[in-house]
Amino acid sequence: MAEKTDVLKVMAFATNMMMESQPPEFRWRGAPLAKHWGRISDAIEQGAPVNWTSFCGSPEIFRAMGIPSIMQDEVGLFCAMFPGKLNEKYIDIAHEHLVADHVCSAQKIMIGATLCGDMPPPTMIVHAGQPCDSTLVTYSAISQYLGVPLLTLDIPGGRDERVVQYVADELERMVAFIEEHTGRKLEDDKLKEVMEYSNAAHDYSLKVNELTKLVPCPLPRMLATPLMDSAGTPEALEMYRNLYEIGRAVVEIGKGYVPNQKIRAGLFSTWVSADVPLFDWLEQEFGVMVINTMLGTDTTRPTEDLSSRRKIMEGLARKQLNAPMGRECWASIDHWFDYAVSTCREWKLDVVLMTLHIGCKNMWAVQKLFRDKIADELGIPVLIVEVDFFDGRVFSSEGIRAHISDFFNTMMA
């Protein structure tokens, strides 16, 4: 019998420790995560409602209703990053219960933690139909197993106004569902206040994007944006505002944030959470700076019209359709390819890194088309390297680094 771990307490403790380990003037960097997990931990202790979600949610609505949401991928990420190898424990438990090898390891971690009782059941599971079929399948299975209510937002392909209206309807259906299952009401004043914080943070995140297009890049790489779960909070706004001010100051000095920026890379897929220093190694070894990333570059526009709940829902629908990971992995590959091509141009990228995570079958299916498209339209090389985002045992760090070394040694020879 495996030793019991209160995984949510581990998350709250570790993210708080990450924030506290910074000098006081830099604690804003870790504050969104630490406060997010602190709220989850408090809600569990008080018996208050807690939701489970996937990437691509609308955290603003949950924030306005005072209901914290646990994003399965974030649990997977931290279980793999923190000492103790909780990711391996939970993945093994999921496999023992016949969860298939090829299911995304983020979901296996959540399933394993739930099956062994380390993760308490949520009040409900409310998640978007994005970013992939793996999420759809596992959340419906796990809600049945736990006997908790499930709502999956139907997110069609396409981005036109008809789709925006449809997704706005889905968000209204979601609000009614949450109200029914938690007894909490969505108040319009509170929603507007949260949206003002969200808008201001997204405004700064777009300005940060503009800074990262400069050569040399004046900001450090960003592998995951806190807006995915903290949009609408004061701490997310403070983080982006400070990031922008730092970037501006570095531009004025006329230097890059990281010295030796020889090659500008885009990462339009996942990374390797079990090997956090991988990108430091890439910088030091080859002068490769990862400038634009799938999970760290948020291209969402603020919701301009906050005059009514419907207008806010429409703004959140647009945001939902453009959410990181959904933007790349959901619906039409034409959207993704167009986004990738224009991103390479705007960010002046020299190379694209395409990590093929074992769960992202959509990416496996189009890898050759993707590489050909980028090569044909831009003449930029694409490095395709197999990884498991959350399980370092599937592809070793040594093997991944050897593959990357071969590519850059050849490219720069």
Q: Considering the complex, what minimum distance in angstroms separates the CB of residue 76 from ligand SF4?
A: 8
Cα(48)–Cα(123) distance, integer angstroms: 8
Q: Which helix (H) or strand (E) holds 375?
A: helix 361-378
> At residue 179, what is the residue type?
E
CB of 382 to ligand SF4, least distance (A): 18
In the chain, the amino acid numbered 348 is K
Among 51, 114, 198, 270, binds ligand SF4 (CB under 6 A): 270
Question: Hey, what are 292's tokens?
Answer: 């634009």
Q: Which of 389, 395, 407, 408 binds ligand SF4 (CB under 6 A)?
A: 389
264 has which bridge partners?
A: 289
By CB under 6 A, residue 106 contacts ligand SF4: yes
The window from 113-121, 127-135, 183-191, 274-282 that contacts ligand SF4 (CB under 6 A) reads 127-135
In terms of CB distance, is 116 or 325 closer to ligand SF4?
A: 325
Nearest distance from residue 363's CB to ligand SF4, in Å?
7
142 binds ligand SF4 (CB under 6 A): no
What CA–CA distances, in Å, run from 122 to 4, 53, 60, 303? 18, 10, 19, 30
Rounded distance between C-alpha atoms, residue 173 and residue 152, angstroms = 10
Residue 70, SS3 per DSSP: strand
Which residue lies nearer to ligand SF4 by CB, 130 or 199? 130
Between 44 and 83, how does the x/- string for binding to ligand SF4 read (CB under 6 A)? -----------------------------x----------
The residue (of 100 and 176) whose beta carbon lies closer to ligand SF4 is 100
User: Taking the complex as a whole, how short is the minimal distance between the CB of residue 355 and ligand SF4, in angstroms?
Assistant: 10
> E strands of 176-328, at which residues?
263-267, 288-293
Separation CA 324–CA 223 (nearest Å): 11
Tokens standing for 137?
A: 């399948």
Q: Report the DSSP beta bridge partners of residue 352.
A: 266, 382
Question: CA–CA separation, 146 vs 202, rounded Å?
Answer: 36
Comparing CB distances to ligand SF4, the nearer of 127 and 319 is 127
Q: Which of 41, 53, 114, 135 binds ligand SF4 (CB under 6 A)?
A: 135
CB 240 within 8 A of CB 205: yes
Pick the stretch among 39-47, 56-64, 129-137, 271-279 that binds ligand SF4 (CB under 6 A).
129-137
387 binds ligand SF4 (CB under 6 A): no
Does residue 287 contact residue 279 with C-beta atoms inside 8 Å?
A: no
Minimum CB separation of residue 33 from ligand SF4 in Å reads 19
Q: Quick check: 132 binds ligand SF4 (CB under 6 A)?
A: yes
Q: Which residues in 171-197 are b (16+ Cβ under 10 Å) and which e?
A: bbebbebbeebbebebeeeebeebbeb
Binding mask 337-376 for ligand SF4 (x = CB under 6 A): --------------------x-xx----------------
**E strand or H helix at 188:** helix 188-212
Binding site for ligand SF4 (CB under 6 A): 73, 104, 106, 131-132, 134-135, 270, 325, 329, 357, 359-360, 389
